[in-house]
Amino acid sequence: MRHVDFSPLYRSTVGFDRLFNLLDNRGIADQTPSYPPYNIERTGDNTYRITMAVAGFDEKELSLEAHAHVLTVKGEKAEAPSVGESEYLYRGIATRAFERRFQLADHVEVQSASLKNGLLHIDLLRNIPEAMKPRRIAIAAEAGDEGKTIEAQVAPQQIN
């Protein structure tokens, strides 16, 4: 695996350290767990949706937390009481605990979350503050640029 050294860029940029840390951590993708599977989709200009397949989990067994540009989704399955003498011959439905983290961009907020048919839907909204939005600035002409008029005094007429 190739490693890219971003240290020269740290010296000449301000405020991009978070971006470089994200790029550094992308190289560790093989250590990232793949459970549960998820989709990220753009549903509008400023809206997004994360859909996670959490079959077998209840609303009470899932928790969502958004803190400092990180959305954390945790699932912890309560142990089902054993009924009688049943024994699994094959267990293909995963009920293991998981924790999945998503890096959120600036001004992205979690709007809502819902669980339907084993899919957890998390709706996100990018809410850019008014101060950060581009605005049109009117250009006014300076008072000194108007046409200058020269006023002359009229000499009083002499009476003869």
As a whole number of Å, the end-to-end CA separation of the chain is 109
CATH class of segment(s) 37-79+89-129: mainly beta
Region(s) of the chain under CATH 2.60.40.790: 37-79+89-129
Q: Over 60: is that where the pLDDT of 107 sits?
A: yes
Residue predicted with more confidence, 121 or 18: 121
Tell me: the pLDDT tens digits for 56-93? Answer: 888 999 999 998 888 999 999 877 666 667 787 887 77
Contact of 71 with 64, CB cutoff 8 Å: yes
Q: What tokens appear for 114 in the block?
A: 């819902």
Per-residue pLDDT tens digits for 33-45: 678 889 999 998 8
Element (H, E) at 18: helix 17-26
| pTM > 0.75 | no
Phi then psi dihedrals of residue 101, to 5 deg: -115, 140
- Measured CA to CA, the distance from residue 4 to residue 25 in angstroms comes to 11
Which of the two residues, 128 and 23, has the higher pLDDT score?
A: 128
